[in-house]
Amino acid sequence: MVKSLCKAAGTIVRLLFVICAFHFSIFFAVSANAGLEPINCGAGPCPEVLASGQLSGAAINSLGEVVWSQQDGQNPDQIFSSTRGQLTNEPKWHFSPAINNLGDMVWVEYSNGTPYGYTLRGIIAGQPVTLAASETNWIGDPDINDRGEVVWIQQDSQNYYQLYSNTRGQLTSGAYYCATPHINNQGDVVFTRSDGNVGPISNQVYKISAGSTTAVAVTSDVLDYRSTAINDSGEIVWSERDISNPASFSRVVSSVRGVLVPPTTELWGVDLNNCGDVVYVTNENGLNKLYRLGSSAPCATAHLGVFHGNGVWYIDSNGNGAWDGTSTDGLYTYGTGLTGAVPVIGDWTGHGTSKLGVYDNGVWYLDLSGNGAWDGTPTDGRFVHLRHRPYGCCTGYRRLDGNRNHENRSVP
């Protein structure tokens, strides 16, 4: 799936430029935010309040969308979005939502009725999924990257809390209490861990690098660390507190930028996107508040790709400028059998993410589902009689409409 993100439907379009030659095309993304250092507002009045009430977790993607869980006044905690409003409305608890740059989401549901217990659910590539479930053992703190890998914490048979992945299995073991994992698009995972010794329990930050199974300590001191997150540039943020001082408060710290939020209150739910924006939740005199430190504007990282005339797409998913094979990068077939088809990229559904497409002899075939394959209509879109043929390749086209049944539909 194409990782380059487009701003559309009311925001600035982020263009992909394509150079076409012979039977293949090379395209690349240009980010208007590239190279800009986010401002450290730890000492200033920069954080913006997004929500207040009974809150229990938050996450932010690189499109600027923030999701969180909050009581809605009628049901237990439900999931809300800064751009789409309330997303769930069921008589069960929804907590710890996470969202990637493709709009995929995961969260944990809890029910004290029938069925009882914890369930890790999600919507990935438009399809509802159940990733884990237990009637007895706690499940929580999920996160998801753009490749669809999900990490979470689950209580084991010895009542310790271990780190799991839907693609790599159980990542930690032993007499430890792991918490708040976060995964970036390279596959690096950060989390906190304590050994549960008698006395004040100090949680430290650990990292499991992509391709490794070894947890390496990022911090090792007397402070207590919670709510870790890591972005694609390797920056890590967390909350920390001096547990030797009962009167101390938590603060938000970056491994690159230092203190971002001074120790003024109790806080949790820290998350970080590729723009450097941070969200966190505070408890201020019994009222929870969700803050965003940074901007709501999207940002994107450039990713190369190659389209061959036989309909094969090679996508540099990890953004390192090299082809690393299908275990790391993306190989898709879209446009097979359409001799002379022109590749196109755009936000066809208005969800803020780029998707594949091809133009052939007056007909546009658009990957509305975003899975990198032609699924036929109405899942994907077929549009005819468009006036102008694209020059080489084009992106950032407006959302066409809300109707997904586009077979033989004329587009002006």
The CATH number covering residue 135 comes to 2.120.10.30
User: Which value, in Å, is the radius of gyration of the alpha carbons in the chain?
Assistant: 22
pLDDT for residue 24 is more than 70: no
Residue 386 lies in a domain: yes
Same-domain pairing of 261 and 377: no
Residue 185: which domain range?
Answer: 48-293
Residue 41 lies in a domain: no
pLDDT value at position 98? 97
Same-domain pairing of 56 and 198: yes
* Mean pLDDT computed over every residue of the chain: 79
Q: DSSP label at 123?
A: E
Same-domain pairing of 62 and 23: no
Higher pLDDT, 7 or 288: 288
Residue 42 lies in a domain: no
Q: Looking at the DSSP assignment, which residues form a beta bridge with residue 66?
A: 60
β 287-293/278-284 pair status: antiparallel
pLDDT value at position 90? 87
Higher pLDDT, 382 or 399: 382
Residue 383 lies in a domain: yes
What does the pLDDT average to over 23-36?
Answer: 30
The torsion angles phi and psi of 317, rounded to 5 degrees, stand at -65, -35
Can you spell out the DSSP letters for 193-251?
EE---SSSPPPEEEEE-TT----EES--SSSEEEEEEE-TT--EEEEEE-TTSTT--EE
pLDDT value at position 38? 40
Higher pLDDT, 373 or 302: 373
Residue 36 lies in a domain: no
Q: Which candidate, 194, 243, 195, places its Cα nearest to that of 223?
A: 243
Angle at the Cα of 128 from the Cα atoms of 122 and 131, rounded to 5 degrees: 50
pTM: 0.68
Q: Which two tokens stand for residue 295?
A: 């901007």
Q: Which two tokens stand for residue 328?
A: 């790391």
pLDDT value at position 222? 86
Respond yes or no on whether the N-terminal peptide bond of residue 115 is cis (omega within 30° of 0).
Answer: yes
Same-domain pairing of 86 and 220: yes
Q: DSSP label at 136?
A: S
Same-domain pairing of 280 and 147: yes
pLDDT band at 301, cuts 50/70/90? Answer: low
pLDDT band at 340, cuts 50/70/90? Answer: confident
What does the pLDDT average to over 2-12?
Answer: 28
Residue 38 lies in a domain: no
Q: DSSP label at 37?
A: P
Q: How far apart are CA 385 and CA 390, in angstroms?
A: 13
Residue that finishes a domain, picked among 253, 273, 293: 293
Same-domain pairing of 251 and 133: yes
pLDDT band at 197, cuts 50/70/90? Answer: low
